[in-house]
């Protein structure tokens, strides 16, 4: 290492140490199962909270093993979807009683899009969908449009205001772009959709647990999200659907399962929907993964989303600075916006040799991921990622890229 490189490394490492020492969230790291690997893939799968295995063991041995069917009542299994929804609610800026947990994000997208088309007036026959969205949102929305007789209009978020009109029934958008980490204008776009008379649906998979969302504050109609990314619920943990209180009486789910019935144990042939967000339920809750998620949410006790956002921006700012100082110019170009108002909690770099570069990073103890053909993604989970981690990732990335 040259003297200049050594000096640069010492400077950034010292900065990282000082930032970690002043970090009010630093003590949260010990709540997770982590090793010497730098884990920057929490935007795909969050790390395991250390106390969850014991909770799952209790569910298996006592609640299922000993109490068995009694646990639906005695252990609170039956009410878990609403109870856990109320724990997620503050993390996305929602009052209690508007979120129910269950099913996958894809299933909840289907519920939300069809229900939104039913909430809209009959003359509105267009559904706008984010053309840059995660593929499943597009697939599901296209199918929902065919089933409901609506036209599908793919648009980028920037094109939404110009595409809105008297035929707009609903608009499905991602809060944060999964490839680039770009944060879209939820307040402004929601207001534009409402001004045109449409229903605004937001996918929160890459924002919930990473930054303030403000569902109630900004008048969002419907929202969906997963729980295995920044909420650390575990692989395949159940997703959730938000139904604003003002829409709950008219919310008409296309999947009217027995657990969303007003009298689920009446076993009547006719369907009568329950009151409130419970209408978003479908079938029997997946209790093991649901209760693991509930335990995982304990790591949020005493943490404000605003503090998480402040650290997220500081981490990503520092990472961009380290990348600029460690990497040869032009070898890994940021595609994530620099402006805080346009940035989620990940940084994406366009790199010509993205796939072999990421493979080598992982071999050297730095875990991110990639989006083909040429995007390296690094997700920053403020509850357990530190500034020394950030400096190490950029330094190792610089070494890997320089050798190629």
Cα 58 to chain centroid distance, Å, stands at: 28
Q: Count of alpha carbons within 13 Å of 227, Cβ hemisphere only?
A: 31
Residue ranges of the alpha helices (H) in 61-197? 71-74, 80-88, 105-119, 135-148, 160-163, 186-195
For 376, the enclosing helix (H) or strand (E) is strand 375-379
Q: In sequence order, what are the residues at sequence separation of 6 or more whose Cβ sits closer than 8 angstroms to the Cβ of residue 202?
A: 172, 173, 174, 175, 186, 190, 213, 215, 220, 222, 223, 224
Q: In the chain, what are the helix, strand and coil shares in percent, each to the nearest 5? A: 45, 15, 40
**What SS3 state is found at 385?**
coil
Give CA–CA dist 244/264, Å, rounded.
Answer: 23
The Cα-based distances of 253 to 115, 136, 260, 280, 343 in angstroms read 5, 19, 9, 7, 33
**DSSP secondary structure code for residue 173 in this structure:** E
Give CA–CA dist 392/396, Å, rounded.
Answer: 6
Q: Which residues pair with 183 in a beta bridge?
A: 176
Q: In sequence order, what are the residues at sequence separation of 6 or more whose Cβ sits closer than 8 angstroms to the Cβ of residue 146?
A: none
Q: Quick one: which of 89, 90, 91 has its CA closest to 101?
A: 89
**What SS3 state is found at 239?**
coil
Give CA–CA dist 30/47, Å, rounded.
Answer: 11
Whether omega before 46 lies within 30 degrees of 0, making that bond cis, reads no
* Residues with catalytic function: 134, 203, 228-229, 377
Taking a C-beta distance cutoff of 8 angstroms, is the pair 399, 372 a contact?
no
């Amino acid at each position: 290492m040259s003297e200049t490189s050594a000096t640069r490394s010492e400077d950034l490492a010292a900065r990282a140490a000082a930032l970690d020492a002043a970090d009010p969230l630093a003590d949260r790291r010990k709540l997770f199962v982590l090793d010497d690997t730098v884990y920057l893939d929490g935007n795909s799968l969050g790390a395991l909270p250390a106390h969850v295995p014991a909770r799952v063991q209790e569910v298996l041995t006592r609640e299922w093993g000993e109490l068995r069917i009694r646990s639906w009542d005695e252990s609170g299994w039956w009410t878990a979807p609403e109870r856990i929804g109320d724990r997620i609610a503050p993390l996305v800026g929602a009052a209690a009683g508007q979120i129910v947990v269950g099913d996958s994000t894809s299933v909840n997208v289907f519920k939300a899009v069809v229900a939104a088309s039913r909430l809209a007036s009959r003359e509105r026959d267009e559904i706008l969908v984010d053309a840059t969205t995660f593929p499943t949102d597009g697939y599901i929305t296209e199918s929902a449009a065919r089933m409901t007789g609506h036209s599908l209009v793919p648009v980028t978020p920037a094109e939404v205001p110009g595409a809105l009109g008297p035929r707009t029934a609903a608009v499905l958008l991602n809060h944060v772009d999964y490839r680039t980490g770009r944060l879209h204008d939820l307040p402004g776009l929601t207001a534009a959709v409402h001004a045109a008379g449409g229903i605004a649906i937001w996918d929160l998979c890459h924002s919930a647990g990473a930054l303030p969302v403000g569902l109630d504050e900004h008048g969002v109609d419907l929202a969906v999200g997963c729980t295995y990314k920044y909420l650390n619920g575990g692989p395949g943990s159940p997703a959730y659907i938000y139904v604003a209180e003002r829409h709950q009486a008219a919310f008409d789910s296309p999947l009217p399962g027995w657990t969303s019935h007003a009298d689920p144990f009446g076993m009547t042939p006719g369907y009568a929907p329950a009151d409130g967000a419970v209408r978003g339920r479908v079938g029997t809750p997946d209790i093991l993964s649901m209760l693991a998620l509930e335990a995982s949410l304990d790591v949020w006790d005493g943490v404000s989303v605003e503090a998480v956002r402040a650290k997220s921006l500081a981490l990503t700012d520092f990472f961009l600075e380290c990348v600029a100082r460690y990497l040869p110019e032009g070898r890994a170009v940021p595609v994530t916006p620099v402006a805080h108002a346009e940035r989620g909690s990940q940084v994406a770099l366009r790199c010509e040799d993205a796939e072999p570069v990421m493979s080598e990073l992982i071999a050297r103890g730095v875990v991110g991921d990639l989006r083909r053909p040429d995007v390296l993604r690094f997700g920053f989970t403020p509850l357990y990622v530190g500034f020394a981690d950030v400096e190490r990732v950029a330094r190792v990335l610089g070494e890997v890229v320089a050798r190629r």
